[in-house]
Chains A and B, each alone.
Chain A
Amino acid sequence: MPARPAASRSASPAVPAVMAAGDLGQLFSALTTRGYQVIGPTVRDGAVVYDAVDGPDALAAGWGDEQAPGSYRLVRRRDGAIFGHRSGPTGWKRFFWPPELRLWQARRMEDGFRVEAEPAADPPRRALLGVRPCQLHGLLRLDRVVAGGPYPDPRYRAARERAFIVAVNCTEAGGTCFCASMGTGPAATAGYDLALTELVTDGAHRFLVEAGSEAGRAVLSGVPHRQAEKDEVAAARVLLQKAAEAMGRRLDAGGVKELLYEKFEADHWDRVAERCLACANCTSVCPTCFCTTVTDATDLAGGRAERRRRWDSCFSVDFSYIHGGPVRASVKSRYRQWLTHKLATWHDQFGTSGCVGCGQCITWCPVGIDLTAEVRALRAGGERGNGV
């Protein structure tokens, strides 16, 4: 269930607008005057990460990245593109489903403990600038897991409902991208307030802008823009088509659920287990991985305690621990759990795939395990290893 009614975010039937790249600052102003804190891609620690940005100068403009299994490098671009990089390691889920969150705390009073609930209301109003279509699908899938059902997470939901999303379509595919296989990109189709397509041509640097919601149209009205020319719309379409054709990876999603069910006992899982370090990098960069652990902590005097929720991973051995031992003790069973959940049982549990094709699990795997290759190997008979 989307956190926001779908109707308010349907794609605009109107002709797209065009905004000059030099007017990006005006977009910042339009967002901040409406009370949004702008979060966007910025360079830190040798990677493009998402954090608060106070203006276009803070964005990772002019940077690109080279991504391959187990490899990520920033590179300077010659064309000055502002969004010329791809999905990065930190993702957007942390702004709604934070890595660590206090659920509640309690204080010792004379007559026992008094619980002090964490306020559910009033999370920051955030404008996410530069959400890639794959990542946007990640948020939409996370919505189905934690914002819907009989126990919606109140803080996730409040933060999602208040967020303003500026998607940026991908005019270039990265080395580990496969959104075209998963039907999640390279163009955003739903779930955004504004969607930008960056057009960098000789002497003209501009954005094709589509509004996907009333809020998006209102913000756009405060930014200098004009109607797009036919050739600008066509140029964007060509770029997106080329990006779709230039995906660094491909995953044959047809029947992949049935394939993984069928291959649950394939010997190939042993081959993967020989390489997998069970480090959980893949689950921490995955836009849809949501698993958590809940722990209690007290202060030294025992007068105050709190219960916290932290991201956890199905790769940790304690993840499945019950009295008597973990259900999945071997690395093999843990990798199989992750991949099978992502591509197969997610459909049973939530009605979609758990994979959005962003390729971050491939890029950030220290040993370069590539799920698209693993699926190919399983399809080929389950006897072949990486790099098939």
Chain B
Amino acid sequence: MTGCSGWVTPNPYQPVACRVVAAVPETSDTVTLTIAPPPATAWRFQPGQFNMVSLYGVGEAPISIASDPADPEGLVQHTVRAVGRLTRPLTTLRPGDTVWLRGPYGRPWPLDAWRSRDLLLVTGGLGLAPVRPVVLAAGRARHLFGRIELLYGARTPGDLLYRDALQEWARVFDMTVRVTVDAVPPDQVWAGPVGVVTRLYEAMTSRPGAVALACGPELMMRFALQGLLDRGFPASDLYVSLERRMECGFGHCGRCALGPVKVCRDGPVFCWDELAGRVWVEDQPVLQAVGGGPRGPAAARRT
């Protein structure tokens, strides 16, 4: 276990009703909810963990925690994109509404093990949300880390999360922030780089020796990791956070089984060194094809 204390209830499936204190739109389809846990609960989490978030009568899903683990008021934030049956109504919540939480679950980013290292954070799309606690925690304890560089790719300028914070992080936390977009629609303005996030590797200053994490769509992580391996980053310095279906969060529902691991219990954060050769080829071209995975005709076919 992670050493985090959540809400202990006799029934591990029973969530706690929490009040939404703010709902801030990030993009046209994505909202950051700020949620106040009930006063009686001691709410603590570590960057990279997730909650099971639910709406009464609708359903429940695992969603990464996107906020500062040391928030003085104990508030917790989830950045949610409206893509499904649960997330659509979640993005319509208003301050004062009730949302149900249980957690936190999962293995966090190992920030303690990264002390005194340079950090390279490679993120894509909504994958910036589970990395935001890393930025905030490392930024607050800035002296514990070397150089910090954040690479962030979004589909369009209108899809950028935490848009105002990005520049502020660079200034306040003395970190390098590089942002790219895949495309610029005619009605949007963008002066920055255009292209997938790995295009930013050409300009980045991070070198092997830095700890790197990748978080985003699986295809993006695949190319992000491959690019880093090609540049001489060892697999033992690469980290990912995986997404799988989960319906319990604590290892009982079986749905997030990924070969020898359960993503909810053993992840969602993994060192690539642990996963290389152990992430399994499924139907989709997933992380398997990245160098360091098992070699064979099928693996080659998929690259």
- Which residues of chain A from 257 to 295 have any CB-CB distance to chain B below 8 Å in the complex? 264-265, 290-295
Query: A153 to B252, Cβ gap below 8 A?
Result: yes
**In the bound complex, what is the Cα–Cα distance between A326 and B256 (angstroms)?**
12
Q: Which residues of A contact B255 (CB under 8 A)?
A: 291, 293, 312, 319-320
- Size of chain A's interface in residues, with CB distance under 8 A? 53
User: Is A309 interfacial (CB 8 A cutoff)?
Assistant: yes
Secondary structure class of chain A's binding surface, majority of residues: mixed
Residues of A within 8 A of B250 (CB): 149-151
Instruction: Find B14's partner among A103, A291, A327 (CB 8 Å cutoff).
Output: A103
- Chain B residues, Cβ within 8 Å of A322: 243-245
Asked if A323 CB lies within 8 Å of chain B CBs, one says yes
- B260-303: CB near A (< 8 Å → 1, else 0) gives 11100000000000000000111110100000001011110000
Contact (Cβ within 8 A) A115 B17? yes
Write the chain B residue with the least CB distance to A103.
B13
Is there an interface contact between B12 and A333, defined as CB atoms closer than 8 Å? no
Contact of A154 (CB < 8 Å), options: B11, B98, B245, B257: B11
Q: Mark A87-107, 1 if CB is under 8 A from B, else 0.
A: 000000000000000011010
Which of B17, B244, B284, B294 lies at the interface centre, i.e. has the most chain A CB atoms within 10 A of its CB? B284
Q: What count of chain B residues pass the 8 Å CB interface test? A: 45
Given the known interface contacts A103-B13, A314-B254, the answer about A292 and B280 at a Cβ–Cβ threshold of 8 Å is: no
Main secondary structure of the interface of B (DSSP, over half): loop
Do B245 and A321 touch (CB < 8 A)?
yes
Cβ-defined contact, B252 with A296, below 8 A: no
Residue from A112, A305, A320, A325 in contact with B57 in the complex, judged by beta carbons closer than 8 Å: A305
Closest partner residue, chain B, to A264 (CB atom): B280
- Chain B nearest CB from A139 CB (Å) reads 16
How many Å lie between the Cα of A149 and that of B9 in the bound state? 15
Contact assessment for B14 and A104 in the assembled complex, using a CB-CB cutoff below 8 Å? yes
User: What per-residue 1/0 map shows which CB atoms of A359-388 lie under 8 Å from chain B?
Assistant: 000000000000000000000000000000
CA distance A337 to B54 in the complex (A): 28
Report the minimal beta-carbon distance from A302 to chain B, rounded to whole angstroms. Answer: 7
CA distance A55 to B127 in the complex (A): 61
A296, B297: Cα distance in complex, Å: 44
Docked-complex contact B247 and A117, CB < 8 angstroms:
no
**Hey, what's the 0/1 contact readout for B182-206 against A, CB within 8 Å counting as 1?**
0000000000000000000000000
**Selected contact of B59 from candidates A106, A146, A295, A320, CB within 8 Å:** A295
Stretch of A7-15, A57-65, A186-194, A341-349 at the chain-chain interface: A341-349
As a 0/1 sequence over residues 37 to 79 of chain B, the CB contacts with chain A under 8 angstroms (1 = contact) are 0000000000000000010111110000000000000000000
